[in-house]
Amino acid sequence: MMDTIGLDTNYSATYWPWIQVRDNDNSTQLYIPPTGEVVRNIALTDNVSYPWFAVAGYSRGLVNAVKALKKLTLDERDELYKMRINPIATFSDTGPIIWGNKTLQVKESALDRINVRRLLLRTRKLVSAVAVRLLFEQNDDQVRNEFTRLVNPILEAIKKERGLYDFRMTVSNDPEDIDQNTLRGKIYIKPTRSLEYIDVEFIITPTGASFENI
């Protein structure tokens, strides 16, 4: 198992255990890291949904393998997750499946989840692609309004596709920024978190109780 001690970054993630695959060329089976299957599911996620969806679970985390090196118990999966290691779980109906969404960031924040980091990477790329069109234009109110006009639809589209709860954008007209030939903007976002725990409480009621009064 990979030792995550000393690794503190939201640009990386790790997974365990290894998975067994068929080597048809040599008519054998061997254990390999799950890296290839993680990358395949990242591509699948981008094709069937968006980068800000978690690469895990039944929809976007199925692993093509004979089996995992170890069939993890619930307690083992929870312990690995506390250590920032994404488990490869095994269920009878699916086989191995990616069952985690954590980066290697130690501090608890939105960026300790892979889907939020990928959301930010995608958003920056889209915003940069439109912002570059404004370079060498006149640095006045018109160009600042144009920046807002170009960026707002990008954020609105991401919000519509469940990537953001909400957002706000500000553009500075500070004279010092203007004198430095700079347009300085700030984008505040509330990223949509992935659902990782479901807590259901069952309550037994008397036979004659009316559910309308509960």
Helices and strands of the chain, counted as H and E runs? 6, 8
Amino acid code (one letter) for 139: N
Take residue 111 and report the two structure tokens written for it. 């960026």
Local structure of 17: helix, strand or coil: coil
> What pLDDT sits at residue 211?
80
pLDDT digits (tens, 9 = 90+) for 98-116: 999 999 999 999 999 999 9
- Residue 23 is which amino acid? D
Crossing angle of helices 141-160/114-131, nearest 10°?
150
List the chain domain ranges. Answer: 15-98, 114-191
Q: What is the pLDDT of residue 4?
A: 56
pLDDT at 1 over 50: no
pLDDT at residue 2 greater than cutoff 70:
no
Cis ω on the peptide bond leading into residue 34 (within 30° of 0)? no
The count of other CB atoms within 10 Å of the CB of residue 115 is 24
Give the mean pLDDT of 148-153: 97
Average pLDDT, the chain: 95
CA 166/CA 66 separation, integer angstroms: 42
**pLDDT beyond 80 at 55:** yes
What is this structure's pTM?
0.91
| Cβ atoms of residues 102 and 31 within 8 Å | no
* pLDDT at position 213: 75
